């Protein structure tokens, strides 16, 4: 019998054997081992990957692959950054644990935004700041220039922009005019790329409150046509849009209602009461108190706010959450703290009150305490000197630099 014939016969015999003895065929040549390995791979693909998915992910808006990559990165971050108590259920594939997130901060060159950027960069995230420098400034971010994890884009959020990120902190908003268009654009971006969206709303949504302290369930008492309405109603509309994007399009959203915040890098002349008093006292001018000075406010140090914003973004709860310091001060009490800190001889000058000025403002933060494990830690007496140092440097910076240079 020739070689060809022998090979043909062997093949024929094998075929016959596989048909007549299937079990024999399966156990030959380690086929069974390969079969088990196949089952193992399928198990990993269909069980481990879905277990990382978030129940509130916006399905259908983006591809499943992109979504699972995003969720892996977020979960990995949560474990890494110590937020794991809220989302510790998922299994993290090796190699993803240490990766940071890509985060967009609109208004990141401003007072609160720049402090938030510092924290995000410090924990290893890549941050893109979008700002038109309307009230913010590059100086607030100068220390990040040259860091490959940091990008700054001059852009007005009233115009659409396309970026690929995991989370959006939306802070851009001029201190008074409304910014509905900016919020709409950022919600549109978040929807398009499947990012989680956090709106920095304000205690102004409560208007001149008839309930004290203010809880998140209170709907507020806002004059829709007053001089302050542009800001108040703008933020109320922004909250409405945010919730509609969540309900209608399944977007992951978070809402923070921020109460008066102070600290270094605050705009010196933006008319907010703490910055007014501090700048006036440093410049040896009288502290201007509007009305009888008995209206109350609460003052939160900026690092406490940033901690609250980050916990909100990483947590499982939409909000809205009041983020503020419940310590309540009348304007006259605040003026006294400023006098004690800067100049005990600073004079107080009374002026007629502004229209629609709220009489009382104090956050009820039980919800944030319970669900975010957050509460402010820095008292006004501790925080104010830190802000005063920064203001002193910025107001007299050139002068003192000059003085120290000439005395050397
Ligand atoms: N600081 C507070 O006490 C306080 C209280 C309540 C709410 N908030 C909210 O927190 C956020 C940050 O406030 P802040 O105190 O840091 O104010 P800020 O003015 O210092 O910062 C706002 C930033 O947004 C930028 N910006 C404004 N309009 C823009 C636009 N159209 N496009 C791009 N960038 C734009 C500004 O240049 C600035 O850098 C705001 O949304 C504000 O409404 C702040």
To the nearest whole percent, how much of the chain has pLDDT over 90?
Answer: 64
158 lines ligand 1 (CB under 6 A): yes
Q: Which atom of ligand 1 is nearest to the CA of 182?
A: 31
167 lines ligand 1 (CB under 6 A): no
Q: Which atom of ligand 1 is nearest to the CA of 203?
A: 6
User: Helix, strand or coil for residue 130?
Assistant: strand
How does residue 93 score in pLDDT terms, banded at 50, 70 and 90?
A: very low
For residue 286, the 8-state DSSP code is P
Torsion sign (Cα): 82, 87, 88, 94: negative
CB of 320 closer than 8 Å to CB of 258: no
Give the ranges where 211-360 is alpha helix by DSSP (H).
Answer: 229-249, 273-282, 302-314, 331-341
The pLDDT, as a whole number, for residue 401 is 44
How does residue 395 score in pLDDT terms, banded at 50, 70 and 90?
A: very high
Q: Does the pLDDT at position 317 exceed 60?
A: yes
For ligand 1, atom 35, the nearest C-alpha belongs to 172
325 lines ligand 1 (CB under 6 A): no
Helices 331-341/380-407 angle, 10° precision: 40
The string of pLDDT tens digits covering residues 279-312 is: 999 999 999 999 999 999 999 999 999 999 999 9
- Residue 291: partners with Cβ closer than 8 Å, 6 or more residues away: 331, 350, 352, 353, 357
The string of pLDDT tens digits covering residues 188-241 is: 999 999 999 999 999 999 999 999 999 999 999 999 998 888 899 999 999 999
327 lines ligand 1 (CB under 6 A): no
Task: Report, as an integer, the average pLDDT of 326-331.
Answer: 93
Query: What are the catalytic residues?
Result: 231
For ligand 1, atom 13, the nearest C-alpha belongs to 112
The string of pLDDT tens digits covering residues 373-385 is: 999 999 999 999 9
114 lines ligand 1 (CB under 6 A): no
What's the mean per-residue pLDDT of the chain? 82
How many A from CA of 235 to the centre of ligand 1? 12
Q: Does the pLDDT at position 357 exceed 90?
A: no
The pLDDT, as a whole number, for residue 24 is 64
Q: Does the pLDDT at position 366 exceed 70?
A: yes
The pLDDT, as a whole number, for residue 178 is 62
Task: Report, as an integer, the average pLDDT of 310-336.
Answer: 96
Higher pLDDT pick, 85 / 309: 309
How many A from CA of 8 to the centre of ligand 1? 82
To the nearest whole percent, how much of the chain has pLDDT over 70?
Answer: 74
Phi, psi at residue 329, to the nearest 5°? Answer: -130, 140
How many A from CA of 138 to the centre of ligand 1? 14
Torsion sign (Cα): 251, 136, 148, 79: negative
Lowest mean pLDDT among 3-17, 75-89, 265-279, 339-353: 75-89
For ligand 1, atom 40, the nearest C-alpha belongs to 171
The string of pLDDT tens digits covering residues 155-164 is: 999 999 999 9
156 lines ligand 1 (CB under 6 A): yes
84 lines ligand 1 (CB under 6 A): no
How many A from CA of 185 to the centre of ligand 1? 16
How many A from CA of 321 to the centre of ligand 1? 18
The pLDDT, as a whole number, for residue 117 is 98
Domain extents for the chain? 100-265+300-326+362-378
Query: Domain 100-265+300-326+362-378 sits in which CATH superfamily?
Result: NAD(P)-binding Rossmann-like Domain (3.40.50.720)
The pLDDT, as a whole number, for residue 39 is 76
Task: Report, as an integer, the average pLDDT of 270-285.
Answer: 93
For ligand 1, atom 19, the nearest C-alpha belongs to 135
185 lines ligand 1 (CB under 6 A): no
């Amino acid at each position: 019998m020739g070689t060809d014939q022998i090979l043909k016969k062997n093949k024929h015999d094998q075929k016959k054997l596989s048909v007549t003895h299937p079990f024999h065929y399966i156990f030959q040549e380690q086929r069974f081992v390969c079969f088990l390995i196949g089952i193992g791979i399928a198990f990993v693909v269909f069980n481990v990957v879905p277990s990382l998915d978030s129940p509130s992910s916006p399905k259908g808006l983006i591809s499943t692959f992109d979504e699972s990559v995003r969720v892996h990165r977020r979960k990995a971050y949560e474990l890494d950054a110590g937020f794991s108590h809220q989302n510790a259920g998922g299994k993290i594939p090796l190699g993803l644990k240490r990766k940071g997130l890509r985060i967009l901060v609109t208004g990141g060159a401003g007072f609160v935004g720049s402090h938030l950027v510092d924290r995000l960069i410090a924990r290893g995230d890549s941050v893109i700041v979008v700002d038109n420098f309307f009230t913010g400034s590059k100086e607030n971010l100068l220390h990040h220039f040259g860091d490959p994890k940091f990008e700054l884009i001059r852009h007005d959020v009233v115009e659409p922009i396309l970026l690929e990120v995991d989370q959006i902190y939306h802070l851009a908003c001029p201190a008074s005019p409304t910014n509905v268009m900016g919020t709409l654009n950022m919600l549109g971006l978040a929807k398009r790329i499947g990012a989680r969206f956090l709106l920095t709303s304000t205690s102004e949504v409560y208007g001149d409150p008839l309930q004290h302290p203010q809880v998140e369930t209170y709907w507020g008492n806002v004059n829709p046509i007053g001089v302050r309405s542009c800001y108040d109603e703008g933020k109320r509309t922004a909250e409405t849009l945010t919730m509609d994007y969540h309900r209608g399009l399944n977007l992951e959203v978070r809402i923070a209602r921020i109460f008066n915040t102070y600290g270094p890098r605050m705009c010196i002349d933006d008319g907010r009461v703490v910055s007014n008093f501090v700048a006036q006292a440093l410049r040896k001018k009288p502290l201007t108190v509007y009305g009888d000075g008995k209206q109350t406010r609460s003052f939160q140090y900026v690092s406490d706010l940033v901690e609250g914003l980050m916990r909100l973004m990483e947590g499982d709860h939409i909000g809205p959450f009041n983020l503020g310091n419940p310590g309540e001060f009348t304007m006259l009490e605040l003026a006294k703290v400023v006098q004690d800190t800067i100049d005990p001889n600073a004079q107080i000058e009374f002026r007629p009150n502004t229209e629609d000025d709220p009489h009382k403002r104090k956050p009820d933060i039980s919800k944030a305490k319970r669900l975010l494990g957050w509460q402010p830690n820095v008292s006004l007496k501790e925080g104010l000197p830190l802000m005063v140092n920064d203001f002193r440097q910025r107001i007299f910076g050139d002068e003192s630099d000059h003085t120290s240079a000439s005395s050397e």
